[in-house]
Structure 1
Amino acid sequence: MPETENQSDARRFSDVVESLAEGDDPKLTLQELVSAFGERGFGAMILVLSLLALLPWPPGGKAIFAVPIILMSLELAFQRNSIWLPRWALRASVSRTAYRSGVSRIMKLIRRVEALTRPRLSYLTGEIADVVTGLVCVLLALMMALPVPFGDMLPGVTLVLFALGMMQRDGVAILLGAAGTALCVLYLLFVWTTVVEVAQHVWLWASGLF
């Protein structure tokens, strides 16, 4: 008997994540993810996409997850009540085998974190706070998609923290996400400064040859 949307919403987030590993279709589409989480909101979708993005993918693979995260974060910032994604985005997919393998490795962590989070510091998860959180998540998703060495892990983890905060209405997770965002910005500044300095040295060296 097919599961109704209300039944899906009554299950824990971790149960839904685990159930998505099973299915006849070898591809797990974004449409299936949206349908599975029903009315759980933007937090659940951003969380699962951020978790998927943390798995090892070929070059450019992070963009598959960054684009829908950006779209949903903008919708959150503009106070939409439900998720809307264009058809081409809903058709995006990943291998269900890869999803199953990745989820099996982090399921214990997901359940542990899920048990630790709870509604608190409500002023950090209200409507105004959601606008700021949505805009910050756009920035983080853009960072995650950049071809920066080791630059995708920290934004991905920070997105997970923000998503947990939104989904569980946990202000502590939002604060941790804010700290993670600061670290992301500092890391990017460090990488940029290093690249500029190396480029200057290379230019000076090359200039000395002529």
Structure 2
Amino acid sequence: MPDPSAAKSLSQILEDLAASEEPRISVAQMVERFGGRALGGLLLVFGLACTLPLPPGGTTIFGFPLLLLAPQLVIGARRPWLPSKVRQGSIATSDLRTGLPRILPWIRRVESVSRPRLSFLFGGVGERLIGVVCFILAVVLILPIPLGNILPAAAVSVLSLALVQRDGLLALFGYALTATSVGVLVLAAGLLTRGFHEVLGFFASA
């Protein structure tokens, strides 16, 4: 049986979700709407959620499903598996209507120029590598690092969109964002460590 969602772009599916008359959209409903692209689609949704300005602990909440989804790419899963508690979790439709207008224009622009290319990046090894990278980034996202969510979440979003679009050029951009986010985090950790040692040295010499 053909997948009815396959005829729609990812941005159209997200727009349909925001236009729903239901007060809340569950994760299970998202899986159904995304169809055969549910794994990449959910990675994109939770990755994008982590790029938004969230209250403390917000990226931990949205990053947790990424910890469950990314390893499924590593084992070659075609459909996402999530615990029933996560599948029953939901997002207010009003929040989608508020957040998606900021994101959908970007997704549409990418879709307009994106096409399947560099297909070797999405073979068995390629998809598993995306899964490993997204898992590592998800670990970073659930850590309480002030302002440490933007680059890792953007990298997850780009890699998941590349996976859906089968666009290797987009995947390379996602890897570049990953390298940049790792570099920034390492630099920040180094500066914090140096500052900590200087403070300790100040009190030791006082």
Three-state SS of the structure 2 residue aligned to 1:178 is helix
Q: Which residue pairs with 1:193 in the alignment? A: 190
- Using structure 2 for the length normalisation, give the TM-score: 0.93
Question: Partners in 2 of 1:204 and 1:143 — Cα distance?
Answer: 29
Question: Partners in 2 of 1:34 and 1:64 — Cα distance?
Answer: 18
Equivalent AA in structure 2 for residue 35 of structure 1: E
Q: Which residue pairs with 1:167 in the alignment? A: 164
- Consecutive unaligned residues of structure 1, counting only runs of 5 or more, are none
- Tell me the alpha carbon deviations over residues 71-107 of structure 1, each in whole angstroms, 9 at most, x when there is no partner: 1110110111211101111122333212211101222
The answer to whether the 8 A contact 1:5-1:38 is kept is no
- Consecutive unaligned residues of structure 2, counting only runs of 5 or more, are none
- Given candidates 34, 37, 43, the residue that maps to 2:34 is 37
Q: Which residue pairs with 2:174 in the alignment? A: 177
What is the CA-CA distance between 1:158 and the residue it aligns to?
Answer: 0.7
The count of corresponding residues between Structure 1 and Structure 2 is: 206
- Given candidates 72, 83, 88, the residue that maps to 1:86 is 83
- Using structure 1 for the length normalisation, give the TM-score: 0.91
Q: Return structure 1 stretches of 4+ with deviation > 6 angstroms.
A: none
- Given candidates 199, 202, 208, the residue that maps to 2:199 is 202
Indicate how the Cα distance of structure 1 residues 87 and 5 shifts in structure 2: closer, same or farther if over 3 A, else same: farther
Q: Which residue pairs with 2:73 in the alignment? A: 76
Percent identity, please: 34
Equivalent AA in structure 1 for residue 136 of structure 2: L
The answer to whether the 8 A contact 2:39-2:78 is kept is no
The answer to whether the 8 A contact 2:31-2:38 is kept is no
Q: Which moved more, 1:166-175 or 1:101-110?
A: 101-110
Question: Partners in 1 of 2:2 and 2:28 — Cα distance?
Answer: 14
Three-state SS of the structure 2 residue aligned to 1:20 is helix
The answer to whether the 8 A contact 1:74-1:135 is kept is yes
What is the CA-CA distance between 1:162 and the residue it aligns to?
Answer: 0.6
Taking only aligned residues, the RMSD between alpha carbons, in angstroms, comes to 1.7
- Tell me the alpha carbon deviations over residues 35-80 of structure 1, each in whole angstroms, 9 at most, x when there is no partner: 2111114222211221122222211111222111121110110111
Question: Partners in 2 of 1:130 and 1:29 — Cα distance?
Answer: 26
Question: Partners in 2 of 1:90 and 1:57 — Cα distance?
Answer: 22
**Which structure has more helix as a fraction of its residues?**
2
Three-state SS of the structure 1 residue aligned to 2:91 is strand
Q: Which residue pairs with 2:54 in the alignment? A: 57
Q: Which moved more, 1:119-128 or 1:35-44?
A: 35-44
Question: Partners in 1 of 2:190 and 2:113 — Cα distance?
Answer: 38
